[in-house]
């Protein structure tokens, strides 16, 4: 695939669909070219939901001076994404028994339609124009021999989402289920799945369990302000709520990183509490695991660095340069023997990352014919 995405002038209309709001946009050359449009999702009324999807794309198209070549967007699963069929959705009570969303839009707009989930498209966007190129530019500037091509993205919010990019290609899976990190095991409560410890509801629960005031009105932002000491409340319980979430994330990421071996990017609303979450993730991922006999060994083969912490970033960029002799010659070979990875916050707004990812995914699919 020889597309020069940076200079590609084709326009793709996009959507980031949540259970509350739809956010429509259009992308050209890895940039949004219209002001994002928000409409109600009407998750409990199928006719209103579908009508707003059509209306949103119509409004975006009316703003364009160039005809769009495709529609590409994020919609929650489970779904048969390649065929554009959305199945029973927990956050969309009106969508039951399969809804042919892709074919509906194809019939309406007469251009190709591509659908995926937000975790996938967020990660692809960060791989195209966010953390992945940012890290590689930093490494090049530092004179490092190291470069990264793989990215594992997670989104923290109502739920625990993820996406996988391998060699700049999105990994979808045979059942459109690659990256379903939410259902990995919860290390703090092994009978439960990870999302029970990595979500808005988890932050509230752990805060209350550790002595915080119980209140249905208490948002993660309120708990974050308590942890920061900016608002009255149980500061220790608030800090614990985010640190415990970091521990659960870390165990799931450790398993994922072992298999994928790439950088990790974090997005979503709860990423705003990263100063409490990320250190807990890095500490646990750089911790130990045991043999049956009790011997401790590193949890990961790779060393994990916090890319948003100055000292960690410097160590990550520096690596460990080494020059060795090539056997039976007088030549030398320079290499970096430190096996490492980094975890960092998204360099793009989450909605923008999804839009750019949707644009890039569409162009790649169009190229396949």
pLDDT in tens, 141-192: 999 989 999 999 999 998 899 999 999 899 999 988 899 999 999 999 999 9
Instruction: Please indicate, yes or no, whether residues 149 and 287 belong to a single structural domain of this protein.
Output: yes
Decide if 162 contacts 155 (C-beta within 8 A).
Answer: yes
137, 234: one domain = yes
CATH number at residue 107: 3.30.420.40
Q: Please tell me the total number of residues recorded for the chain in this structure.
A: 369
Cis status of the peptide bond prior to 78, with omega within 30 of 0: yes
Averaged pLDDT of the chain: 93
Contact present, 179 and 164 (Cβ < 8 Å) = yes
Beta-carbon count within 10 A of 311 CB: 9
Instruction: Tell me how far the alpha carbon of residue 312 is from its chain's centroid.
Output: 22
Based on the fold, state whether residues 98 and 145 are members of the same structural domain: no
Inter-helix orientation angle 131-141/310-318, to 10°: 60
Which residues pair with residue 288 across a beta bridge?
Answer: 298
| Coil, helix or strand at residue 258 | helix
Given this model, what pLDDT does residue 77 score?
81
Query: How far apart are the C-alpha atoms of 109 and 86, rounded to whole Å?
Result: 19
Please say whether the beta carbons of 301 and 308 come within 8 A: no
Q: Which of 116, 151, 179 corresponds to the end of one domain?
A: 116
Is the confidence at residue 19, as pLDDT, over 80?
no
pLDDT given for residue 275 in this prediction: 96
The two structure tokens encoding residue 338 = 């430190």
Q: What is the domain extent for residue 56?
A: 5-116
Token code pair at residue 36: 């994002």
Residue 359 lies in a domain: no
Tokens of 140: 């090049």
Mark whether 55 and 197 lie in a shared domain: no
- Please give the tally of structural domains in the chain: 2
Two structure tokens written together for 145: 């021999």
Three-state DSSP state, 31: strand
If asked whether residues 101 and 159 sit together in one domain, one would say no
DSSP-based helix, strand, coil % in the chain, nearest 5: 40, 20, 35
Is the pTM above the cut of 0.85?
Answer: yes
Alpha-carbon gap, residue 98 to 159, rounded angstroms:
22
Within the chain, residue ranges assigned H as helices are 46-63, 101-109, 118-129, 131-141, 200-209, 220-228, 235-260, 274-285, 310-318, 350-368
Contact by Cβ (8 Å): 130, 163: no
Same domain, residue pair 287 and 166: yes
Whether the Cβ atoms of residue 27 and residue 8 lie closer than 8 Å to each other = no
Q: Do 239 and 162 share a domain, yes or no?
A: yes
CA angle 359, 93, 184 (to 5 degrees): 65
The answer as to whether 352 is a domain residue is no
- End of a domain among 116, 142, 169? 116
pLDDT, position 4:
56
Q: Quote the CA–CA distance of 75 and 56 in Å, as a whole number.
A: 14
Please name the residue that has the structure tokens 């060994």: 297
How far, in Å, are 51, 289, 297, 302 from residue 292 at the CA level?
Answer: 58, 10, 11, 22
110 and 138 both lie in a single domain: no
Q: What is the pLDDT of residues 43-72, one digit of tens each?
A: 899 999 999 999 999 999 999 999 999 999
Bigger pLDDT: 352 vs 296: 296
pLDDT bin (cut points 50, 70, 90) of residue 249 is: very high
């Amino acid at each position: 695939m020889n597309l020069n995405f940076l200079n590609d002038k084709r326009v793709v209309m996009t959507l980031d669909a949540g259970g509350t709001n739809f956010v429509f946009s259009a992308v050209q050359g890895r940039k949004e070219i219209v002001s994002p449009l928000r409409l109600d999702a009407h998750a409990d009324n199928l006719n209103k939901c579908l009508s707003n999807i059509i209306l949103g794309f119509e409004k975006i198209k009316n703003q364009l001076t160039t005809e769009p070549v495709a529609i590409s967007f994020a919609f929650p699963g489970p779904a048969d994404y390649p065929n554009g069929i959305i199945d029973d959705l927990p956050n969309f009570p009106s969508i039951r028994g399969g809804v042919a969303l892709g074919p509906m839009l194809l019939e309406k707009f007469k251009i190709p339609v591509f659908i995926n989930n937000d975790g996938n498209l967020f990660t692809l966007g960060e791989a195209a124009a966010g953390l992945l190129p940012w890290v590689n530019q930093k490494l090049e500037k530092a004179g490092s021999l190291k470069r990264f091509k793989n990215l594992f993205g997670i989104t923290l919010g109502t739920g625990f989402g993820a996406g996988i990019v391998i060699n700049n290609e999105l990994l979808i899976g045979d059942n459109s289920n690659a990256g379903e990190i939410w259902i990995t095991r919860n290390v703090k409560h092994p009978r439960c799945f990870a999302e029970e410890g990595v979500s808005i509801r988890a932050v509230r629960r752990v805060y209350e369990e550790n002595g915080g005031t119980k209140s249905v009105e208490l948002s993660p932002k309120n708990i974050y302000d308590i942890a920061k000491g900016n608002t009255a409340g149980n500061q220790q319980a608030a800090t614990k709520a985010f640190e415990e979430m970091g521990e659960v994330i870390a165990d799931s990421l450790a398993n994922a990183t072992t298999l994928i071996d790439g950088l990790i990017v974090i997005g979503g609303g709860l990423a705003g509490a990263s100063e409490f979450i990320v250190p807990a993730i890095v500490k646990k991922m750089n911790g130990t695991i045991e043999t049956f006999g009790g011997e401790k060994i590193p949890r990961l083969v790779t060393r994990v660095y916090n890319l948003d912490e100055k000292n960690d970033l410097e160590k990550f960029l520096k690596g460990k340069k080494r020059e060795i002799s090539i056997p039976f010659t007088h030549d030398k070979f320079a290499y970096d023997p430190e096996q490492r990875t980094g975890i960092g916050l998204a360099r793009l707004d989450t909605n923008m990352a999804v839009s750019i990812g949707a644009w890039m995914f569409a162009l790649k699919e169009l190229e396949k014919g």
